[in-house]
Amino acid sequence: MTTTAELFPLILYTIITVVIVAVLLLAAGWLGTGGSSANKSLPYESGIIPSGSARLATTVPFYLIAIFFIVFDVESAFIFTWAVAWKELGLPGLIHITFFIVALLSGLVWIWIKGGLDWGPSRERK
Q: Show the domain range for 97.
A: 60-114
Quote the CA–CA distance of 108 and 120 in Å, as a whole number: 18
Please report whether residue 42 resides in a domain: no
Quote the CA–CA distance of 83 and 93 in Å, as a whole number: 10
Please report whether residue 64 resides in a domain: yes
CATH of residue 76's domain is: 1.20.58.1610
Quote the CA–CA distance of 50 and 47 in Å, as a whole number: 9
DSSP 49: -
pLDDT tens profile 62-75: 777 778 888 888 88
pTM score, two decimals?
0.47
- pLDDT score, position 38: 78
Query: What are the phi and psi torsion angles at 48 (to 5°)?
Result: -115, 130
| Most confident range, picked from 18-22, 37-41, 95-99, 104-108 | 18-22
Please report whether residue 5 resides in a domain: no
